[in-house]
Every structure is written in structure tokens, then in C-alpha cells.
């Protein structure tokens, strides 16, 4: 069967939306670092709407910092791919044409540096996951002990590994040519633009202090909040797209109809008119960041650890269980909501109702095991602020104490049914070693909660929390997650 490509667009069924602009006429003005499924389901989709509705020269060059997989998927298809929106039995297909090319950084680092330095490049966006920022949360700065950062400092500007180093190398060239830049983080980090700016400046200081000064005045790092559930594409998704298109699309991405993007109005260069196609440009992103991290992402992590241990492979299976659904709603109402301060007119209750409906979308098949990855990076962003604020206010924090016990139980590598699995986490070696050294909750829990790089002294701030987590961990081992959650509700 033939592959989707530019020549095949005219053959597609009328029900499939296709680009409404001349693709070969647009230039690449956006470079995206980390071209995975989420970018293709979110920022590239927003940019496609701009090109279709507003015009402009906003083609995207995607960059993989590791694998050539996406390049291999997209190149035979002229950069085209299908976005499959699924809600129950309904689906909508749209072919996205905004991506003009894909570069694999390890294979062609010179091409990436040239592109980032090019006058035509106005905007850089990033989805490199929390760990990709090489950020030390406890020190609130660049993790200078990170092996990849140490490598990049030694070999700079050659053989680079990190997004941070590539940006600094390109900005050094842009300074010579007096070319400002706007760099937008699209990862699930609070104040993600501020974090990105800190690690870039810290790295630049190591290279050239005058470069760091220029970056402060000539480069914008706006914060942004992104929201769309984009699970890993399944063989069933590929087959569903094939059936409608009548041709193969190995780069297809499946997602939900809902999408949200809130961007701080802080730019040094022109940017696409994303605000004309549904994104919000605001003065302060923080309330929206807090809402999303604590309500959506915080709930997702609870679902991932407790639900996965209980035997549920998908998010929709967890929330289909009435006790788990009630537990998640209790977390939203009693833990996350009291810590939020949203703009007047924003309906938080409606947002929570919408979240539970989105979680229940069985057509997405969002794996709990996928969400459970990289917990050492995610938990500080999703749970700890709520723990601190509620603890300081004297409110009950037992829901998150149970959630933390669930994560520590997850680190022990065995579901309640006895099935074993591999922990995927940048701190996996350290954390799993702890689970092997000690056998009892009374030793294991305090050891994990004392890891400064994750919890930043939380065990000392909230000493009662440690005792609660020990008790919940004992119960999870003795009774299993399903029973503990049911008893809690």
C-alpha cells in the first residue's frame, strides 16, 4: 500500500481535512526541539490552524535530540502526517503539513546549529520532557553534575548532547549577527520559561559571561501552559487511519478533541498568530500552570501509580472504577483546588468535570505505565506545592500521603497481582537501590522522602507526612491498592 505524501493529498476522501496553503511556498521560521507525538498533536496543530486561517511564513523544522524514528516516519511522507481526534466512537482526521523537515541532532549537529542560528528562525519551541532541562530543582539552577552537561561543557561547541548546549551555541552566533530570538518551553514544568532561562544563562556563564548578558536582553523565554492528552500511537490507530485514507501513514498521531495553550505575552521576535486560533496570550501564565499541573497532571500521576499497581493498564479503566473516580475527585476538591487562584470568571468546577470526562475517553487508551515514567522529575512539579501549601494551612494531606506511598510502592517493581516491570526514571538506579537495601516501610519511606534532589527537605518541613506515608505504604503492601482506595472513600 502506498504511503501518504504530497502528491497523494488530492486523492484523500473529502472528510479528511488537508492543508489549505501552498506548502512549498512557506519557509521554516520555527525550530522545534523534541519532535515527539505531543508536539505533532499540539503546537504543530496550532501552527497548522494559523497557516490555514491566517497565513504567514511559519513552517516548522522538527529536531530529534536522540532517535531517528520520527524522521524515518515523516521523510517518506514529505513531512505530512494525520492527526486523529477520537472521542468515543467519533473520530476526525486532519492531515498536518506545517512540518517541513526533521533533523536528527546526533547525525547532523552542524545542520541544527546552522538552523538555530539562521536569520529566518524567529521562534524555538521545546518539548524535551522535564529531565531534558538538566535542572536541579533543589538548587534552582542548572544541574552541573549532570553527565550530559559535563560532557557538553567539556566539548562545547562540538559533539553536543543537550538542548541547553545547542541553544547556547546558536545564541553565541546570533549575538554576532544581532539576531534576537523567542524560545518557548512547552513542557509540564511550573514557570517553565523561567527554568529554561536559568539553565541557559547558567550554561552561557560557563562559556562567556558577556554572552549571558546579551541573552538576558535579546532573548525572550515566555512561560507557557500546554494541555492535550496525546498517548503513544497504537497499531490500531495506524490501522484506523489507513482504513479512512486508503494509504499508509506511519507518522499518525492520535489525540482527544480538547486542546489548550496559554502563552505569556513576552516576545523578542514575531510569533505566529496562535491567539487567533484558540491559544491565549496572557500577562501571567502561572495560575493556568498551577491549575493544569495540580489538577490534570497531579491526578494523572495518582491514576498512574495507584491504578497501575491495582491492575489497570489504561486511564479510562481507572476512572471507570467508581471508588478510584471518587478518590481522584476528592484529590481535586480537597487538595488541588484550595491552592489555586484563578482569574475572575474562570469556572474551576466545570474544568474538573471536564477533566474526569476526558480521563474517561476510552478511545484514547492512555497507558498508566506511560504516565508513571520519570516520577522523580514529575512529582516535584505535580504534588509538592500542594503538599506544602495544604500542610502549612493545617489542611488534611492524607490523600497525597497515600499517593506518595503509592509511588514508593511502585518503585518496588511489582504490581499487586505479582507482575514485575522495569522502572523508567532518570533516578531509577538510586531509587531502586533503596528498595533493595531495606525491606520494611519504616526504613524505606524515610530514605526515599529524604532524597534532596526530589523533595527539597519536605520531610523536615512536614514531619507528620513521613509517618502518614509509612502507614499508607504498609497498608498498600498488606491489602493492595484497590482495597486501600476503596476503604479510603
What pLDDT, on a 0 to 100 scale, did the predictor assign at position 161?
A: 97
333-389, pLDDT tens digit by residue?
999 999 999 988 889 999 999 999 999 999 999 999 999 999 999 999 999 999 999
What's the pTM? 0.88
Q: Grid coordinates in use for 326?
A: 471518587
What pLDDT, on a 0 to 100 scale, did the predictor assign at position 220?
A: 98
DSSP, residue by residue, 269-283:
S----GGGGT-EEES
Rg of the chain over CA atoms, in angstroms?
23
Sign of torsion over alpha carbons 417, 406, 366, 489: positive
462-481, pLDDT tens digit by residue?
989 999 999 999 999 999 99
Q: List the one residue out of 231, 245, 267, 258 whose CA is nearest residue 45.
A: 258
269-291, pLDDT tens digit by residue?
999 999 999 999 999 999 999 99
What pLDDT, on a 0 to 100 scale, did the predictor assign at position 422?
A: 97
Q: Do 105 and 12 contact (CB within 8 A), yes or no?
A: no
What DSSP state is assigned to residue 62? E
Q: Enumerate residue ranges in the chain where pLDDT < 50.
A: none
What DSSP state is assigned to residue 17? B
What pLDDT, on a 0 to 100 scale, did the predictor assign at position 137?
A: 84
Structural domains in the chain, CATH included, are 6-282 (3.40.50.720), 286-488 (1.10.1040.10)
d(CA 456, CA 135): 13
313-326, pLDDT tens digit by residue?
999 999 999 999 99
d(CA 405, CA 475): 9
In sequence order, which residues have a C-beta less than 8 Å from that of residue 82 and are 6 or more positions away?
4, 16, 93, 94, 95, 96, 241, 245, 249, 251, 252, 253
How many Å separate Cα 413 from the centre of its chain? 24
Q: Grid coordinates in use for 468?
A: 502518614
The dihedral formed by the CA atoms of 287, 289, 294 and 295, expressed in degrees to the nearest 10: 90
Amino acid at each position: 500500500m502506498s504511503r501518504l505524501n504530497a502528491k497523494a493529498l488530492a486523492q484523500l476522501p473529502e472528510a479528511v481535512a488537508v492543508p489549505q496553503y501552498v506548502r512549498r511556498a512557506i519557509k521554516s521560521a520555527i525550530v522545534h526541539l523534541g519532535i515527539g507525538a505531543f508536539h505533532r498533536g499540539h503546537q504543530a496543530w496550532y501552527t497548522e490552524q494559523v497557516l490555514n486561517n491566517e497565513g504567514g511564513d511559519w513552517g516548522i523544522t522538527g529536531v530529534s535530540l536522540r532517535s531517528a524514528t520520527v524522521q524515518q516516519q515523516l521523510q517518506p511522507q514529505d513531512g505530512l502526517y494525520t492527526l486523529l481526534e477520537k472521542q468515543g466512537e467519533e473520530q476526525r482526521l486532519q492531515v498536518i503539513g506545517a512540518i517541513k523537515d526533521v533533523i536528527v541532532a546526533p547525525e547532523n549537529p552542524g545542520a541544527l546549529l546552522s538552523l538555530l542560528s539562521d536569520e529566518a528562525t524567529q521562534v524555538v519551541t521545546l518539548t524535551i520532557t522535564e529531565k531534558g532541562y538538566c535542572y536541579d530543582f533543589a538548587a534552582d539552577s542548572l544541574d552541573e553534575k549532570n553527565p550530559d552537561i559535563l560532557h557538553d561543557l567539556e566539548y562545547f561547541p562540538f559533539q553536543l548532547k543537550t538542548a541547553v548546549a545547542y541553544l547556547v551555541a546558536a545564541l553565541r552566533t546570533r549575538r554576532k549577527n544581532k539576531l534576537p530570538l523567542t524560545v518557548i518551553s512547552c513542557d509540564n514544568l511550573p514557570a517553565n520559561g523561567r527554568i529554561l532561562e536559568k539553565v541557559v544563562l547558567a550554561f552561557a556563564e560557563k562559556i562567556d559571561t558577556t554572552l549571558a548578558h546579551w541573552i538576558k536582553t535579546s532573548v525572550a523565554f515566555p512561560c507557557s501552559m500546554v494541555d492535550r492528552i496525546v498517548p503513544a500511537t497504537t497499531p490500531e490507530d495506524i490501522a484506523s487511519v489507513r482504513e479512512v485514507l486508503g494509504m499508509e501513514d506511519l507518522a499518525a498521531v492520535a489525540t482527544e478533541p480538547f486542546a489548550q495553550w496559554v502563552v505569556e505575552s513576552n516576545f523578542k521576535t514575531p510569533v505566529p498568530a496562535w491567539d487567533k486560533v484558540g491559544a491565549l496570550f496572557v500577562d501571567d501564565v502561572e495560575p493556568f500552570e498551577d491549575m493544569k499541573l495540580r489538577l490534570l497532571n497531579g491526578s494523572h500521576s495518582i491514576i498512574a501509580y495507584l491504578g497501575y499497581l491495582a491492575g489497570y493498564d489504561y486511564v479510562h479503566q481507572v476512572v471507570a472504577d467508581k471508588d478510584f473516580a471518587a478518590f481522584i475527585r476528592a484529590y481535586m476538591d480537597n487538595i488541588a483546588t484550595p491552592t489555586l487562584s484563578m482569574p475572575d470568571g474562570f469556572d474551576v468546577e466545570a474544568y474538573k468535570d471536564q477533566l474526569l470526562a476526558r480521563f474517561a475517553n476510552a478511545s484514547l487508551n492512555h497507558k498508566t505505565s506511560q504516565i508513571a515514567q520519570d516520577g522523580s522529575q514529575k512529582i516535584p512539579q505535580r504534588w509538592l506545592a500542594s503538599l506544602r501549601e495544604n500542610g502549612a494551612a493545617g489542611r488534611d494531606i492524607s490523600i497525597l500521603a497515600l499517593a506518595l506511598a503509592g509511588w514508593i510502592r511502585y518503585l518496588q517493581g511489582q504490581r499487586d497481582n505479582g507482575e514485575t516491570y522495569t522502572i523508567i526514571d532518570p533516578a531509577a538506579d538510586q531509587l531502586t537501590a533503596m528498595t533493595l537495601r531495606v525491606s520494611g516501610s519504616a526504613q524505606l519511606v524515610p530514605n526515599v522522602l529524604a532524597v534532596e534532589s526530589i523533595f527539597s527537605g519536605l520531610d523536615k518541613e512536614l514531619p507528620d507526612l513521613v509517618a502518614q506515608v509509612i502507614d499508607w505504604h504498609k497498608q498498600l503492601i498488606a491489602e493492595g491498592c484497590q482495597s486501600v482506595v476503596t476503604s479510603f472513600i
